[in-house]
Amino acid sequence: MTGLGLLPLAEAQQRLLALARPGAVIDQPLAACLGHYLARPLVAARRQPAADLSAMDGYAIRWSDRPGPWTVVGESAAGRPFGTALRQGEAARISTGAIMPQGADTILVQEDAERAGDTLRLAGDGPSRQGAHIRRAGHDFEPETLLAPAGAPIDARLIALAAMAGHGRLPVHRRLRVAILSTGDELVPPGAPLPSPAHIPASNGAMLAALLAHWPIDATLPPIVPDRLEAVAEALAAQSDADLIVTTGGASVGDHDLIQPALAQLGGSVDFWRIAMRPGKPVMVARLGKAILVGLPGNPVSAFVTAQMLVLPLLRAMLGANEALPRTSELPACAPFPAIGGRQDFVRSRIIDGAIHPLGNQDSGALHALWQADALAIRPAHAPEAAIGSPISCMMLSRQA
């Protein structure tokens, strides 16, 4: 705990990740694996390439026969190898990816060859060394090579690698069910008419659903929950078979902050709450039946930052990722960053010419400034002022997801 009675974020993250239990392992077809994490290491089931191949279109020759001429005795095409061995003075037409005929040890590329009927002559410099333009058997991987560790994210590149390594299916953890509950009497669904200036569009639900969209997660977005204890309790109870319930709003201790009272009524247990971070202090982590509940603040920027720092790491861990916490890198400050109080600060910032620059509007509801940000500059609690040029730890904000 800090002097303010708040939990440091790093400790909150460790406690939260300790709750994560990845679901059952299933073997899924490659095409359905995108966004999952490997549940077991990926091991090569074959040698790649299985034989020496030509890397170019041209002619397979014997180095010792240079400078030719050669007699073209056949062809090795991709998928249709040349059946017999090359003898002295012989060459085979060969295309990229085709198997080197026996006896051949070098490729004469198309551009350096001149052919008249079956007679092949050197035109140009020819190959520079014995073995030129050959892709050696096993140069990419050998059978049993450990290609990727358990917990690696399955992306397009890993899918290609798995396919080449002989796998049509991969072991992954089952999909997760996540319920996203927005609470607040003032909230109106996006695009719906606002009855009064006291009402606002509910942006958090759409934002959270978007953050999860690239993962194997079935997200449900029940209707907005009004600020009445029975309504909140009923909405939570209806989602207790989810793996994770994420709520926004109502997580503080105001008269209308009903997540904790509703949870108590349902027999849920609060694990911890209130984190020493800004924005985002009133975060709560609890358990309700088999579900983990993470209560995020209602302010949209607070909800985004706490989702990045807590909800997404938790989901990565629940999906079996080997790296759950966000990556950070250091960039030089291109303006002074003020001294920090007792709460770790997440400063919405732009990156200009490789340096980090705090945006003017740091209000925890300012979504336009959040959208303009390229990174969150992460300032530790009690940090002194950071002068221009000093290194600042940053979490990049992707424009893709």
| Parallel/antiparallel/unpaired status of strands 90-94 and 70-76 | parallel
Given the complex with ligand AMP, which of 200 and 397 has the nearer CB atom?
Answer: 200
Pairwise CA distance, residues 301 & 370, whole Å: 7
Stretch that binds Mg ion, among 47-55, 128-136, 295-303, 386-394 (CB under 5 A): 295-303
> What are the DSSP E strand ranges found in 303-366?
329-332, 344-352, 355-358
Phi, psi angle pair for 125, to nearest 5°: -75, -30
Decide: is 101 part of the binding site for Mg ion (CB under 5 A).
no
Return the residue of 81, 249, 313, 358 that touches Mg ion, per CB under 5 A: 249
Q: Which residue has the tokens 């190959």?
A: 127
> Radius of gyration (Cα) for the chain, nearest Å?
30
∠358-303-213 over CA atoms, to 5°?
A: 105
Shortest distance (Å) from residue 262 CB to Mg ion: 13
Size of the site for Mg ion (CB under 5 A): 4
Given the complex with ligand AMP, which of 48 and 204 has the nearer CB atom?
Answer: 204
Residues forming contacts to ligand AMP in the complex (CB under 6 A) are 182, 184, 186-187, 200, 202-205, 248-252, 297-300
Shortest distance (Å) from residue 205 CB to ligand AMP: 6
Q: Which does 321 bind (CB under 5 to 8 A by kind): ligand AMP, Mg ion, none?
A: none
Judge whether 113 and 123 are in contact, CB under 8 Å: yes
Stretch that binds Mg ion, among 262-270, 291-299, 337-345, 372-380 (CB under 5 A): 291-299
The first and second tokens of residue 399, run together, are: 């424009």
Q: What residues form DSSP beta bridges with 377? A: 347, 394
Q: Which does 187 bind (CB under 5 to 8 A by kind): Mg ion, ligand AMP, none?
A: ligand AMP
Stretch that binds Mg ion, among 117-125, 218-226, 250-258, 365-373 (CB under 5 A): 250-258
Phi, psi angle pair for 71, to nearest 5°: -105, 125
Given the complex with ligand AMP, which of 205 and 268 has the nearer CB atom?
Answer: 205
Given the complex with ligand AMP, which of 86 and 246 has the nearer CB atom?
Answer: 246
